[in-house]
Chains A and B, each alone.
Chain A
């Protein structure tokens, strides 16, 4: 089975690994690197659970092969913060009870991170539309929308 050498920076750490071309980025992160924060739901680009950032843009890591990220910069949910030191978005999710089982949460957080960089998210409708590619089967979305709304407001207050 032929493999390829790749060099990829994940959360600021450079990894050199040999991968089969068919290895999905999601499986590379979880199984090869042990970064199990990225969750795998549908494996065909519908549920959004596996969303990560590649070179700053959100992508479905089940629709990208690890071999394609050779030379790229990948950020996963592990890059945002820790339980003792959550970032502002994670803090907002915590305060607004924006998760129940937590399975969709990594994808929600990474999607919201990219949305907040790219769109003003001025209304709840914009937030809902932005998150519509991420499925949550527990919350009914209401608290997730509230959390993102709070994070957007906080970021606006913090901006000079």
Chain B
């Protein structure tokens, strides 16, 4: 299992990288962390003529606190997200979830821009981007463009990026005050892709739910928001009955795949359990925030 031969281009800048993508006319791939790309090359599932290495582009890996949002460079490694004090304070659900992303050796290399652009239907980062209403900032030779996370994921391994476009940074609004969060995942082995995972944030106002966000992964062709369940929660207090109603809404809204590891029915059951746990944790943390 060795990759087919390719030409290797070291991009010194984002402009150079997208110019090389455009010049290759669909025959090139961006090499970021390579933790999903290189296995596909080793299996020869992909045989790009050119790899454009963006690892030496300066200033593409950063985590910045910008007023009401956090800006994250596309080349930021998972391990930095996991351990960043800025993320721990303002987006603690991300810090918690990152511990479930693969293993340390993968987290040392894998990047947020790469994971979002790859869009594995069981990965955690696309789910977090949806949960947190992230915005992706992309650049092509035609110029910069922003894409809302909810418009970005089109299908399994398919995103709204043109062939000559690359993600350069991701912005995520900080969690508002009086907001609690929860994250729950089940995988076959610690660090494996999720059989299913869920995350939620609940923002309280007058001790009732003023905003509810629920996102899920592993249960469909892309990560998804649970819009129906979110709507049920608005203006309510979180009782066991309300959690059950949200779980029922989630199970009705998903269409999980069957594979070697789990049946569709099992995943549908599981995602309900995981959403229920995420909501309970989010409610508990939101209460602690407010009191």
Contact = CB atoms under 8 A, between A and B. Distances in A.
B189 interface: yes
Nearest to A55: B108
B236 interface: no
A22 B103 contact: no
A60 B38 CA distance: 11
A45 B39 contact: yes
Given A4-B8, A64-B38, A132-B191, A44 B104 contact: no
A147 interface: no
A1 B5 contact: yes
Contact of B106 (A1, A22, A128, A133): A133
A48 interface: yes
Given A132-B103, A133-B106, A21 B34 contact: no
A129 B190 contact: yes
Nearest to B83: A118
Interface in B119-164: none
Interface of B: 1-8, 31, 34-35, 38-39, 41-43, 51, 53, 55, 79, 102-106, 108-109, 189-191
B53 to A, nearest CB: 6
A68 B103 contact: no
B8 A58 contact: no
Contact of B39 (A63, A111, A133): A63
Given A57-B108, A132-B191, A64 B34 contact: yes
A114 B42 contact: no
Contact of B38 (A27, A45, A129, A134): A45
Interface in A99-135: 111, 114-115, 118, 128-130, 132-134
A68 B106 contact: no
Contacts of B6: 21-22
How many chain A residues sit at the interface, stated as a range, is 20 to 34
Contact of B42 (A43, A48, A51): A43
Contacts of B102: 133
The 7 nearest A-B residue pairs measured at CB: A133-B103, A21-B8, A44-B39, A132-B190, A57-B108, A43-B1, A58-B105
A154 B79 CA distance: 26
Nearest to A20: B5
Contacts of A68: 31, 34, 53, 55
26 contacts: A21-B7, A22-B4, A22-B6, A24-B2, A27-B2, A45-B35, A48-B105, A51-B105, A58-B104, A58-B105, A63-B35, A63-B39, A64-B38, A65-B8, A65-B34, A68-B55, A111-B103, A114-B104, A114-B108, A118-B104, A128-B190, A129-B191, A132-B190, A133-B105, A133-B106, A133-B191
Contacts of B103: 48, 111, 130, 132-134
A69 to B, nearest CB: 11
Interface string A5-46: 000000000000000111010010000000000000001110
A82 interface: no
A128 to B, nearest CB: 7
A67 interface: yes
A74 interface: no
Nearest to B99: A129
B134 to A, nearest CB: 26
A134 B190 CA distance: 11
Contacts of A151: none
Contacts of A2: 7
Contacts of B79: 57, 118
A4 B53 CA distance: 14
Contacts of B105: 48, 51, 57-60, 111, 114, 133
